[in-house]
Chain A
């Protein structure tokens, strides 16, 4: 069975600081992994995805994530936080043959302080 754990329901950083949001997954088959972002009162927007090509994946708005099979992790990073990055971030896992169904983590709310 597949599952996702996001460490830290709330993360707070200063503007210009490194952003690190943690995601660990459990999957009995090779996973597809995703990060979505949700701004207040909006739907989810895809940030980036891992589908077995490069293990370091670059996404929109300067975010990137690295797939580490040995650690079953897919942490999201951004070198320098911007005020506009304040949002909730969701990690999700899926697999082949599953009708593209997603299993989400509980989410991490990112706050960015001046």
Chain B
């Protein structure tokens, strides 16, 4: 299994409080991602990183921010949590393809998830 850990694994918080989730990898992979999983929606990309200090928005980025100050850590922050952000959050990692073009894609490897409840 890819070396990916997420912390905390479970968190209950109140509306309006800030929350930070941490993803830590030991694989030295360049790309990292944050997804949320909700029934009927599959997984949706929140933010991703393509290198240290290089991040971009995904499909559902409103209300979330991220930071990546070193290769192994990718933080997801909810500045002011809302009940609509109750979800299961997954971190994923992927190595950068060695060259461009077909046949050089690399799959993502997923962490165990963090279950967040916002009351």
Q: For B41, what are the chain A residues with a Cβ–Cβ distance below 8 Å? A: 106
* B33 CB, min distance to chain A CBs, angstroms: 7
- CB of B98 closer than 8 Å to a CB of A: no
- CB of A42 closer than 8 Å to a CB of B: yes
- CB of B20 closer than 8 Å to a CB of A: no
- Asked if residues A30 and B102 are in contact (CB atoms below 8 Å), the reply is yes
- Asked if residues B90 and A99 are in contact (CB atoms below 8 Å), the reply is no
Q: For A97, what are the chain B residues with a Cβ–Cβ distance below 8 Å? A: 100
Interface size on A, residues (CB 8 A): 30
Given contacts A32-B105, A43-B90, A49-B107, contact A96 B100 (CB under 8 A): yes
- CB of A56 closer than 8 Å to a CB of B: no
- Asked if residues B40 and A42 are in contact (CB atoms below 8 Å), the reply is no
* B28 CB, min distance to chain A CBs, angstroms: 15
Given contacts A106-B40, A106-B41, A107-B42, contact A100 B94 (CB under 8 A): yes
Among A9, A45, A107, the most chain B Cβ lie within 10 Å of the Cβ of A107
* B110 CB, min distance to chain A CBs, angstroms: 4
For the complex, give the distance between the alpha carbons of A19 and B97 in Å: 33
- CB of A25 closer than 8 Å to a CB of B: no
Cβ-neighbour of A43 out of B94, B104, B110 (below 8 A): B110
- List residues of A (1-24) whose CB comes within 8 Å of B's CBs: 4, 6, 9
* A95 CB, min distance to chain B CBs, angstroms: 8
- CB of B74 closer than 8 Å to a CB of A: no
Q: Which B positions have Cβ atoms within 8 angstroms of A?
A: 31, 33, 40-45, 48, 50, 58, 90, 92, 94, 96-97, 100-113
Task: List 16 A-B pairs, Cβ < 8 Å.
Answer: A42-B113, A43-B113, A45-B110, A46-B107, A49-B105, A51-B103, A51-B105, A96-B101, A96-B102, A99-B31, A102-B43, A102-B45, A103-B45, A104-B42, A106-B42, A107-B42
Q: Which A positions have Cβ atoms within 8 angstroms of B?
A: 4, 6, 9, 30, 32, 34, 36, 41-46, 49, 51-53, 90, 94, 96-97, 99-107
Sorted from nearest, which 4 A-B pairs have the closest CB atoms? A104-B42, A43-B110, A100-B94, A44-B110
